[in-house]
Structure 1
């Protein structure tokens, strides 16, 4: 990979397939429908492959819904806090499940959804936070959250058109947190289950992480299906492409101000924005904790943003201008969130095939930058 032009995202087909096979195993053993959450990973070049293992896609807006419909063509779900009328006219043509964030939104759009092939649901807020402060920005059960309807705001009887309920409360979590959330959800909302056809347990399930309790997830899904006679949906994003991607970057310069600072052609702000948003320090191949090895560096970028810092790392050997560095786990929330701030080019997208060969899937240029402006 170090021979590739930089910066570039590289998606590892072998690691992606390993994830997909595990997810397929969960589906077969539990009866769940597992959907790709496109907000996390939308490399549609791989949708035909992923469609061999997954039940379909889920979208957070009109363009993702179109992408899933066009490129995978299987089950296609959509949720958003609100929908525009013109978007709904298209969504009912390309989505089989539409989930509303409020009963007001449902009432506004129910006429458009009143056609064969569209199943309507409501997102609920089970008011059961399991984030413990680690990912507060991603906690939809926090006080004042706009996401989902609380029990207090539910009617005594569900409108007959409602066929499913949905919750999404997790972020990079294990099955124990899902079970905690499920128990709260079941206690509050099970009185509505008798009229439902499906329950959607959302995303944030780190199913393909090495320590994830897969059997506990399978057991829970079986319990739900056998007890309430509904279909169960899961919408992982990260679990699909977890540890299946890299960001390759080149060291352009080294400056010194209290410590040695590497100037890279990759940027946290532009190419891996979650590094600043969460924030977190991404894993780096051959990189260690800041004071663990002899050679310590701060990794930064060539943007004008003073805070565009990826993190402090140490290495076994001295880093030189021209060296290539490889950030790990960069398939997720990278390509879908990157930007061209400062006119910084977008990274190439490369596929690392099973046989070790690489394929340049997409190269971005000036026209991609200019085309977003006017």
Structure 2
């Protein structure tokens, strides 16, 4: 059973200051999780987590992670700007983009970020854009074909299809790319790959690391390039459903260590650093969307309307994704009522839950929608003129802090030319 990290009494007090809906984050949980990840890879002296800014682009959250030793993974101009303003600098920033505009490479280079190239043609584009090839450079690898392991968010076998993904170099392009970059002045190299999303398997990272470690050995042997780091990117998931088992990050780290000692160490590459770019794993469980029951509708189904909508959390509407819902104060009540939990958008897919068994809901009840700490607020939008909600931090001492105010109509109209 999923339990909220906040009590009804706490939420009732918060709503006196912060009208629903709002996104709430748990500082204590975020810090503890970051420390668990760091401990799991402590065997690798160069280990660093580069938090995927796209998951939760909030300065307060980024500063908390910075204090815990994390860097940032950025994929756009504004994410680079945010990382810079939050105090990240140089090698604390990884820039992984695709179909990249020139101005983004310019800023990444200016900030001293490690640039992770997505395509062979970007080698010349980068050189033409900034006038040189950085001494440290990374390339994204796409092995093609299909990749299968473990369980996905919905509990099925993960069967991702890298061959259909728009990202990365082929193996042949990667070897040629390393040779070309070395000839153009690059001295230190990294390898990056992402093969599957939100895996619920302790075997994903070890399996991926085995592929990348052997690739690194082959690259060094054929190209002579100095490979300094291997970036396992993201893909370690979280259990959105209460019956799903959580990943064991300590077991995952140990699995990667075994691959490292079996492949890299014997090849004389025991000084290679391991990087990760986790977003969902780092933040999703430590965010709630807090909303209030505002309407009921009794037609062919039983509907409960809430004051949040897909503009606040679009994953259920976009992917049919499951997010657990707790009716606060009724945690121990029987789930004997079937509801569709809906928002107010003029779209039929604006539903947080379909045919969900929940306790009987009364008007004014506060609902917590779980696991919204990543890809929750960040995917918000203004369809139907709906305004994005506030973000609030539940601090370690139990107090709260507004870390992003709610949008107003003035914000919505600010960019219009009348």
TM over 0.5: yes
Residue 56 of structure 2 aligns to a residue in which SS? coil
Q: CA deviation at 1:87?
A: 2.4
Q: Identify the residue that residue 101 of structure 2 maps to in structure 1.
A: 84
Q: CA deviation at 1:113?
A: 6.6
The answer to whether the 8 Å contact 2:40/2:249 transfers is no
Q: CA deviation at 1:213?
A: 4.7
Residue 179 of structure 2 aligns to a residue in which SS? coil
Residue 357 of structure 2 aligns to a residue in which SS? strand
Q: Identify the residue that residue 212 of structure 1 maps to in structure 2.
A: 248
2:232 aligned residue (193, 196, 201) = 201
Q: Identify the residue that residue 329 of structure 1 maps to in structure 2.
A: 371
Distance, in Å, in 1 between the alignment partners of 2:172 and 2:189 is 20
Aligned pairs (5 A) from 1:206-355: 206=237, 210-221=246-257, 222-223=260-261, 226-227=265-266, 228=269, 229-267=271-309, 269-286=310-327, 293-311=335-353, 312-316=355-359, 318-355=360-397
TM-score (normalised: structure 2): 0.80
Taking only aligned residues, the RMSD between alpha carbons, in angstroms, comes to 2.8
Aligned pairs (5 A) from 1:4-19: 4=15, 5-19=19-33
CA displacement, residues 219-258 of structure 1 (integer Å, 9 cap, x when unaligned): 5245366452322211111121131111111111101112
CA displacement, residues 6-32 of structure 1 (integer Å, 9 cap, x when unaligned): 000001111112212212213433332
Distance, in Å, in 2 between the alignment partners of 1:131 and 1:273 is 27
Distance, in Å, in 1 between the alignment partners of 2:231 and 2:31 is 24
- Report which stretch shifted further, 41-50 or 326-335: 41-50
Q: CA deviation at 1:299?
A: 0.2
Q: CA deviation at 1:325?
A: 0.8
Q: Against the structure 1 CA distance between its residues 328 and 144, is the aligned structure 2 distance closer, same or farther, given a 3 Å change threshold?
A: closer
Question: How many equivalent pairs are there?
Answer: 367
Q: CA deviation at 1:168?
A: 1.3
Q: Identify the residue that residue 142 of structure 1 maps to in structure 2.
A: 162
Q: Against the structure 1 CA distance between its residues 307 and 65, is the aligned structure 2 distance closer, same or farther, given a 3 Å change threshold?
A: same
TM-score (normalised: structure 1): 0.88
Q: CA deviation at 1:372?
A: 4.8
